[in-house]
Amino acid sequence: MNAVAVVAASPATVPAMPPRRVLGAYLAEARSECLRYLRAPSFMLPILLFPGLFYLVFGVLMGKSEGADAARYLLASYGVFGVMSPGLFGFGVSLALEREGGLLTWKRALPMPPGAYLLGKMLMAMGAAAVVVLMLLAMATGLAHVVLTPLQAVALLVTGMLGVLPFCALGMLVGTLIKGQGAPGMLQLVYLPMSFLSGLWFPLSMLPKSLQQFAPVWPSYHLDRIALAAVGIAHDAALPHVLVLAGFGAVFFALAVRRLRRVG
C-alpha cells in the first residue's frame, strides 16, 4: 500500500497545467511586471528624461539651424539611445536585485511556467521602448517639424519595440554576473560608451577613423542603422543588421541562462 501511495504522489503522475491556466500565468506575470515599473518613477523618469532632453536641445533647438535632416537623423539615433535603457536597466538591475534579495528563488518555487518571468520583463521593456519612441515622434513632428509618412513612423516604432530585445539579453547577462548594488554602475559603463562609439550622439564621421572601424562591434550600431533606414536617412539593407542583432541576443541570452543555472 505504501508503494502505491508513493507512486501516486510521484511528480510523474501529477497532471500538467491546463493550457488556459498556463496562458493566465504568463499574462498575470506580464501584467505585474508592467504595473510594477510604471508605478516606479525612479525607473520611468530617467528613461524618458534623458532622450527627451537630448532631443529637445540637439534635435529641436540645434535642428532649426542645421535643417530638417539633422532633426530626422537625431530622432532615429536618440530613439535608439532611449530604447537601450529599459532593456539594460529594466532587465539587468532588477534581475541583479531580485537574485540578491532571494525573490528570484521564491519565484522559481511558484507554480508558474519558468518562461513567464522572462516574458514579463521583456514585455515591460518593449512597452517602455514604445513610450520612448512615441514621445520622440511627438517632439519631432510637433516641435522640430519633421515630416514622416505613417509607414516611417510605424517602422521606427516597431524597430524600437523589437530592437530592445538584444539589450534585454545583455542586461540579463550583466544581472547574472553583478550584485544588485553594483549593477547600475556596471551597466552605465556599458550603456554610455556603447552609445558614444555607435554614433548615437553625433554622426560617426565626427569620430576618429580608428574608432569608426570598431562601430559594427556594438549592437547599438546595427539598431541605429535600421532606425535611420526606417526614417529615410540611411539606405542599408535591414536583413544583415537584423541577423547581427539576433545573433547578439541569442549569445547573450544563452550565456545568461547558463549562468543562472549554475549559480542561480
DSSP 129-162: HHHHHHHHHHHHHHTS-----HHHHHHHHHHHHH
pLDDT of residue 229: 94
pLDDT of residue 220: 95
pLDDT digit string (tens) for 34-44? 777 777 677 77
Is pLDDT of 212 > 70? yes
Higher pLDDT, 109 or 31: 31
Q: Band of the pLDDT at 61, cuts 50, 70, 90?
A: confident
Contacts of residue 115, defined as CB under 8 A and 6 or more positions apart, other chains included, come to: 26
Contacts of residue 2, defined as CB under 8 A and 6 or more positions apart, other chains included, come to: none
Helix (H) or strand (E) holding 8: helix 2-9
- Most confidently predicted of 28-32, 203-207, 245-249, 254-258: 245-249
Is pLDDT of 51 > 80? yes
Interatomic CA distance for residues 160 and 158, integer angstroms: 5
pLDDT digit string (tens) for 216-264? 999 999 999 999 999 998 888 899 999 999 999 999 999 988 887 776 5
pLDDT digit string (tens) for 82-119? 999 998 988 788 878 777 777 666 766 666 666 677 78
pLDDT of residue 261: 76
pTM check: above 0.75? yes
| The amino acid at 248 | F
pLDDT of residue 5: 47
pLDDT of residue 263: 66
Ranking 53-57, 125-129, 171-175, 199-203 by mean pLDDT, the lowest is: 199-203
pLDDT of residue 120: 81
